[in-house]
Amino acid sequence: MNSHYNPDGWDTGELERAGALARELRSIAGANARVFAVRAPGRANLIGEHTDYSGLPVLPAAIDRSTIIVAAAMESREVTLRNAAPDFAPRTFQLERRIPPFAQGDWANYVKAAVQGVIDHFGALGVALARLRGAALFVEGRITTAAGLSSSSALTVASALAFMAVNGLDLPPLECAPMVARSERYVGTMGGGMDQAAALFGRRDHALFIEFNPLRVRPVRMPSDAAIIVADSGEIADKSGSARAEYNRRVVECALAARILARTLKLQGVRTLGDVVSARVNWNATDLVGILERAAPARLAPDLEEAKRLLDMTGISHESLLHELVGPGASSVKLDPAKPLEIFRRARHVLTETERVIRGAELLEAGQLEAMGALMNESHASLASDFECSTARLDKIAASARAGGALGARLTGAGFGGSIVAMCRAADAPRVIESLDRFYYEPLGIEARGRRAVLHAGDGASTIELAVA
Ligand code: GLA
């Protein structure tokens, strides 16, 4: 089943969890139902933050924490969801051409996103909606939610694979990852493709150098003396509210920077900063940042009138310009009328971060941990000052990791709260954890246990069929 995905990725604990869920599921789906189990891991991004939606590379690792779904086909056209975590209530929805979302912020919208993505993708290949069967999906997540470890993409990836499995559909990971990335925009965030690719391509003991358009993934072995520590700040990034609006605004800011550069450099067909980079052989961040600085004001009014003038697009409406800039998800972008669009600083982060990612992959490969750590620290500084997605607490927790001997520490994921990732020599990991407790968790009165851990780079998603017990 699903030969593209590594069936060895399962550890004994996960198989036991899947087995227990399968017993429950068979009580609904019938004792002889074919039952599939999917695991999809979260990820920690080592470096390359807020570069993916500009089509520029990232260097995450899938982690050894996963979401599991156990699934069986149903006779009806209903998808029934249960989540082992009591905070996530059971849900049911119908298979339809356009599945309407649940209320904003509902966990099951990630499952709807995946199912809608599969319907659309296979629909375009001629698989009729009427041919698809409903499913019962039992979910159990072991990735801390709202912590910047991409539990949501693990859920979307696992749901897509589970829904495909019960319907006898299959897709190689190079096609599956962009499909799931696109479909996750259903929840209203204009995300890039890093999380889904990391969940699908994860490889034990390896980070992943991921490039986009087209997707390419190169595993980079983690040096054996390195440890990755992920620590949750406990500050919740409000993904369906203000953090989402800020994230989407960054997508628009980066797209505007790309268009302004393209116009100045007379490049055709540019949508993203990645397109600008691809069109310039031997590009470097300093040159492009310099060109942008001369070509455009550092910030633009949020009503986009100035942007239209700069881009010679004065004839079109605000909505059309947004659509032109960010594509079909434009309707989920709400620009705060009180906040100017920061063009220059956002682009400076993305372009310098891209240089750091490329260099970071080389350094990791060469086992040069100090230099890699220094890049991670630079990345955090750039995210804090130019990209403005850090918070006082993220700054503090990163500093606490460094104080304990971490060679580098930075926010991981979208920011605005969530987790940091730190890298240290394996022997120093206990000292880093002690320092996090002493300088971050204890002063804030936060229970540290379960919030910080040494994580290992793990395998990507896989689907297996469970034998009848
Ligand atoms: C979120 C998104 C990713 C990526 C990061 C920032 O995790 O889902 O696509 O943009 O933020 O690097």
192 lines ligand 1 (CB under 6 A): yes
Cα 193 to ligand 1 centre (Å): 8
Closest CA to 456 of 252, 227, 264, 234: 227
The residue whose C-alpha atom lies closest to atom 9 belonging to ligand 1 is 192
What's the pLDDT score for residue 357? 98
Tens of pLDDT along 24-83? 999 888 888 999 999 999 999 999 999 999 999 999 999 999 999 999 999 999 999 999
How many C-beta atoms surround the C-beta of residue 267 within 10 A? 16
Question: Rounded to whole angstroms, how far apart are CA atoms 147 and 285?
Answer: 30
Ligand 1 atom nearest the C-alpha of 152 is 8
231-239+346-454 CATH choice from 3.40.190.10, 3.30.70.890, 3.40.50.150, 1.10.275.10: 3.30.70.890
Is residue 279 over pLDDT 60? yes
Question: Rounded to whole angstroms, how far apart are CA atoms 72 and 31?
Answer: 11
**To test ligand 1's pocket by mutation, which of 46, 50, 145, 210 has the most ligand atoms within 8 angstroms of CB?**
50
Cα 44 to ligand 1 centre (Å): 11
Closest CA to 267 of 278, 257, 254, 276: 276
Ligand 1 atom nearest the C-alpha of 184 is 8
Ligand 1 atom nearest the C-alpha of 45 is 12
What's the pLDDT score for residue 237? 80
Cα 459 to ligand 1 centre (Å): 20
Question: Rounded to whole angstroms, how far apart are CA atoms 140 and 24?
Answer: 13
**To test ligand 1's pocket by mutation, which of 43, 47, 51, 53 has the most ligand atoms within 8 angstroms of CB?**
53
The residue whose C-alpha atom lies closest to atom 2 belonging to ligand 1 is 191
What's the pLDDT score for residue 380? 98
Question: Rounded to whole angstroms, how far apart are CA atoms 227 and 272?
Answer: 34
194 lines ligand 1 (CB under 6 A): yes
Is residue 146 over pLDDT 80? no
Ligand 1 atom nearest the C-alpha of 181 is 9
What's the pLDDT score for residue 4? 65
195 lines ligand 1 (CB under 6 A): yes
What's the pLDDT score for residue 469? 62
How many C-beta atoms surround the C-beta of residue 355 within 10 A? 15
Residue 449: both structure tokens together: 């246990």
- Catalytic site residue from 195, 232, 386, 437: 195
Is residue 329 over pLDDT 70? yes
413 lines ligand 1 (CB under 6 A): yes
Ligand 1 atom nearest the C-alpha of 58 is 12
Q: Distances from the Cα of 417 to the Cαs of 49, 146, 203, 212, 243, in angstroms?
A: 14, 9, 27, 26, 9
Q: Tell me what the mean pLDDT of segment 98-125 comes to.
A: 97
191 lines ligand 1 (CB under 6 A): yes
Ligand 1 atom nearest the C-alpha of 150 is 7
Q: Facing residues of 73 across strands?
A: 135
Cα 120 to ligand 1 centre (Å): 23
pLDDT above 70 covers a percentage of the chain that reads 98
415 lines ligand 1 (CB under 6 A): no
What's the pLDDT score for residue 147? 72
Q: Tell me what the mean pLDDT of segment 210-227 comes to.
A: 97
C-alpha neighbours within 13 Å on the C-beta side of residue 125: 11
Is residue 253 over pLDDT 90? yes
What is the residue-averaged pLDDT of the chain? 95
Confidence of residue 2 (pLDDT cuts 50, 70, 90): very low
| Least-confidence region, from 89-103, 194-208, 237-251 | 237-251
Cα 51 to ligand 1 centre (Å): 8
52 lines ligand 1 (CB under 6 A): yes
Domain with CATH 3.30.70.890 in the chain: 231-239+346-454
| The architecture CATH gives domain 7-222+457-466 | 2-Layer Sandwich (3.30)
414 lines ligand 1 (CB under 6 A): yes
Is residue 3 over pLDDT 70? no
How many C-beta atoms surround the C-beta of residue 362 within 10 A? 13
More confident residue, 315 or 424: 424
42 lines ligand 1 (CB under 6 A): no
Q: Tell me what the mean pLDDT of segment 240-263 comes to.
A: 93
More confident residue, 443 or 150: 443
Q: Which residues are within 8 A (CB) of 68 and not within 5 positions of it... i.e. 6 or more apart?
A: 14, 17, 18, 21, 37, 38, 39, 139, 140, 141, 142, 158
Question: Rounded to whole angstroms, how far apart are CA atoms 273 and 279?
Answer: 10
Question: Rounded to whole angstroms, how far apart are CA atoms 241 and 245?
Answer: 6
395 counts as catalytic: no
Domain with CATH 3.30.230.10 in the chain: 7-222+457-466
What's the pLDDT score for residue 408? 98
Confidence of residue 333 (pLDDT cuts 50, 70, 90): very high
What's the pLDDT score for residue 245? 93
Domain with CATH 1.20.1440.340 in the chain: 244-342
Phi, psi of 400 (to 5 degrees): -65, -35
Tens of pLDDT along 341-400? 999 999 999 999 999 999 999 999 999 999 999 999 999 999 999 999 999 999 999 999
244-342 CATH choice from 3.40.50.1820, 3.40.50.2300, 1.25.40.390, 1.20.1440.340: 1.20.1440.340
Residue 2: both structure tokens together: 């699903």
Give this prediction's pTM. 0.96
Residue 18: both structure tokens together: 């899947």
